[in-house]
Structure formats: C-alpha cells, structure tokens
Amino acid sequence: MREWIDLYDSDHPIYVSARHRDVHFRLIAIDILQYLPGPDATVLDFSCGEALHADLVADKAARLILAEPAPGVRRRLEARLGADPKIEVRSLAELAELPKQSVDLAVMHSVAQYMTPAELDAALALIRSLLKPGGLFILGDVVAPATPAATDALALLRFGAANGFFLAALQGLVRTVLSDYWRLRSSIGLARYDEGAITAKLAAHGFIAARAPRNLGHNHARMTFLCKPS
C-alpha cells in the first residue's frame, strides 16, 4: 500500500478537474449520511482522502474521525478542518489509541483494492475492535475479479456527462494512461474479491456482511458491503 499512499500524496491525475473532485467527495458524503444512525453517532472514515465535504457528515453526527495515511493529505485536512470541534484528523496508527467499541459507523471506501490481503486483514481487525456491538461498518468500492479498466473509464465518463465535466474526463483518461497511477495499476494491480471471498474474509474478522443494493459513489460496477458485528 505504501506506493499507492505516496501516489495519492502527490499531484496525481485521479481527479480530472476541480469539478470532478468536488462532486466525487460530495456524493460520497451524501451516500454515507444515509447510513448515519443518528445525531449522537461517532463516525470513522478510514483512509478518507481529501474528504472535501466532511462537513456534511460532521454536521449530522456528534464526532467525525478522519483517518488518513498520507501525511500531506493529512496536513491539508488539519489546515482546512482543524477548527471544527466535531472533526479530528488522525493517522491510521493513531487509531489504536481510540477506546475499543467507541465507533457507531465506520466507513472504508475505495481502499481495499490498494491493500495486500494482510493489510486488509489488519484494517478489518482494527475496525472490528473499534466498532460498537450495534455498530455498522461499510466497505465500499470493492472490485470484482475480471472487471476491466474500461468499466471504470465508462463510469467516469458517465459521471462527467451527468455533472458537467465530460470533456475533462476524456482528457483525464488520456493523462491517467500516461501517469504513475497507470504504471502502478499495471505493475502492482488492484486487489479484487468476488462476493463470496470478501464476505468470507469479513466473517473471519467477526462481521456478518451483506451486499448493499448499490455501491457508494458513482461506479456501480463495484460493490459495497454492509457489515454488522457478529
């Protein structure tokens, strides 16, 4: 995962424009809110990225913990959100300092594909330890085996067409093919799980998982799983 963290901590081409970045994070925040159990909830966003619309979630919750492994991204989060008393920014290592069973809703979206199986096991064990007995863990953007890159490209183009950045999406796809992102995706690859494999892995870490009707975010070819402590 280290190489992916370094990539996301750089000036990467994943978001093709400011408009793309904005609507992407807004959609994720809105999708998370549908699972918020109530205004007293403590929410953990594991490997949250830029979290541009974290304020939408924090406004409806009691506490929002943004855990981010990339130090540069973390500094930007702290500069932008540090004054909000409901939001705290932590490294992944600092999550071990949290009290056990203190989180009502945990989200890990578009992260599992960048982890080795051992890294994912460690993350699931940590999240399971932090989740309250009646809490909910959302694992989003799971990539199924044999899903071609063209599927992701088409999802981006559709997202761009619906949100006013179609031309930027076309240009961005060309830049991506020439970028370090594509080099890493070609050399390291993405971790992929079918529904049976990921639910078995989640069960091994104490979760009862069911596939959600739709994925968080814009790419509906990928999968989201709703996980309750067993």
Q: Identify the three-state secondary structure at position 46.
A: strand
Convert the pLDDT of each residue in 93-145 to its tens digit: 999 999 999 999 999 999 999 999 999 999 999 999 999 999 999 999 999 99
Q: Please state the domain extents for the chain.
A: 2-229
* C-beta separation of 136 from 228 below 8 A: yes
Secondary structure E strands in 173-222:
207-211
Query: Which pLDDT score is estimated for 205?
Result: 98
Is the confidence at residue 1, as pLDDT, over 80? no
Under 8 Å between Cβ of 181 and 97: no
Structure confidence by residue, pLDDT tens digits, 11-66 = 777 889 999 999 999 999 999 999 999 999 999 999 999 999 999 999 999 999 99
Mean pLDDT of the chain: 93
Confidence of residue 7 (pLDDT cuts 50, 70, 90): confident
* Cβ pair 42, 63 in contact under 8 A: yes
- And the tokens for 110? 């578009």
Q: What is the pLDDT of residue 188?
A: 75
For tokens 């809703």, what's the residue?
105
According to CATH, the topology of domain 2-229 is Rossmann fold (3.40.50)
Q: Estimate to the nearest angstrom the gap between the alpha carbon of 127 and the chain centroid.
A: 14
Q: What is the DSSP string of 52-78?
A: TTHHHHHHHSSEEEEE-S-HHHHHHHH
CA-CA distance, 50 to 221, in Å (whole number)?
Answer: 23
CB 58 within 8 A of CB 86: yes
Residue 43 phi, psi (nearest 5): -115, 135
∠ CA 27-124-98 to the nearest 5 degrees? 85
Q: Is the pLDDT of residue 152 over 70?
A: yes
Query: pLDDT tens across 66-98, in order?
Result: 999 999 999 999 999 989 999 999 999 999 999
Model confidence band, residue 182 (pLDDT cutoffs 50, 70, 90)? low
Lowest-pLDDT choice from 57-66, 154-163, 183-192: 183-192
